[in-house]
Amino acid sequence: MSNPNFPPGPYTPGQHVIPPPRPASPATAEWRLNHLMLRIKDPEKSLRFYNDCFGLHVVFIFNVGPWTIYYLGPRDVEISSLGTSKGLLELYHIPSDSSFSYTSGNDYTTPSGIGFGHIGFTVPDVAAALERVKSFGFEVIKPLEEAKEETMGVPSAVVSGQAGEVQEGYKNVFRQLAFVKDPDGYWVEIVPQVVKG
């Protein structure tokens, strides 16, 4: 059975493929992606990053016993509306994990680093957001106007060009966004509200 929302490849490099929307599904009509969960090492640093720097607020804190959950969301979200909200972030602080290294998923130098890529925030002004991140003392991985493969979180075969060229159309988009690191090394992408083609 073919799915028009997932047209078969191969796809032309450097071009967006915009398939038709999936047909309505009564069984999943009210389903939405609600949140992502990250493990964190230092709640104070993480809350400073996601709350003070990126504008989320703590919806609730729940001490489970062995760990503490910090649920974050936009400022208009309350605990009573969590089930219908979007853009939520769940942070797990597990003190017994202190000897484990959390990896961002963009570290191809270790086998355990491949996986999770990044969280993305849309903002009206990426340059202003980057200045804010820097003023809070957090690391900028990829500044605006840069499109180097080594800041794309891809394998060394791509960085060296052995896997082929990254298309200029993607590089044009990539120059408009930025990446920063949160206190646990997770990558956070800062995307303009309007990306120019």
Q: Can you list the pairs that 99-107 forms with residues at least 24 positions away whose Cβ atoms lie under 8 Å?
A: 102/39, 102/40, 102/41, 102/184, 102/185, 102/186, 103/185, 104/181, 104/184, 104/185, 104/186, 104/187, 105/153, 105/187, 106/153, 106/187
Q: Note whether residue 106 is domain-resident.
A: no
Specify whether 89 is located in the same domain as 43.
yes
Specify whether 89 is located in the same domain as 141.
no
Q: What are the start-end ranges of the E strands in 11-117?
A: 35-40, 57-63, 68-73, 88-93
Q: Note whether residue 5 is domain-resident.
A: no
Specify whether 151 is located in the same domain as 75.
no
Specify whether 122 is located in the same domain as 90.
no
Instruction: Look at residue 178 in the predicted model and tell me its pLDDT.
Output: 95
Q: What are the start-end ranges of the E strands in 6-87?
A: 35-40, 57-63, 68-73
Specify whether 85 is located in the same domain as 122.
no
User: Taking the model in full, what pTM does it have?
Assistant: 0.79
Q: Across the chain, which distance is largest between two alpha carbons, in Å?
A: 53
Q: Note whether residue 18 is domain-resident.
A: no
Query: Is residue 114 predicted with pLDDT exceeding 70?
Result: no
Specify whether 139 is located in the same domain as 192.
yes
Would you give the distance in Å from CA 13 to the centre of its chain? 24
Specify whether 77 is located in the same domain as 127.
no
What is the CATH classification number for the domain harbouring 62? 3.10.180.10
Instruction: Look at residue 1 in the predicted model and tell me its pLDDT.
Output: 52
Structural domains counted in the chain: 2
Q: Note whether residue 16 is domain-resident.
A: no
Q: Note whether residue 102 is domain-resident.
A: no
Specify whether 124 is located in the same domain as 197.
yes
Instruction: Look at residue 188 in the predicted model and tell me its pLDDT.
Output: 92
Q: Note whether residue 110 is domain-resident.
A: no
Q: Note whether residue 162 is domain-resident.
A: yes
Catalytic residue among 30, 44, 165, 189: 189
What span, in angstroms and rounded, lies between the C-alpha atoms of 138 and 54?
12
What is the CATH classification number for the domain harbouring 191? 3.30.720.110
Specify whether 127 is located in the same domain as 65.
no
Domain that holds residue 54: 32-96
pLDDT digits (tens, 9 = 90+) for 54-72: 999 999 999 988 899 999 9
Specify whether 192 is located in the same domain as 122.
yes
Residue identified by tokens 């974050």 is 72
End-to-end Cα distance, the chain: 34
pLDDT digits (tens, 9 = 90+) for 10-62: 999 888 899 999 888 888 787 777 789 899 999 999 999 999 999 999 999 99
Specify whether 147 is located in the same domain as 92.
no
Query: Shortest CA distance to 159 belongs to which of 118, 117, 120, 109?
Result: 109
Instruction: Look at residue 113 in the predicted model and tell me its pLDDT.
Output: 64
Residue 189 a catalytic site member: yes
How high is the mean pLDDT of the chain? 87
Specify whether 77 is located in the same domain as 151.
no
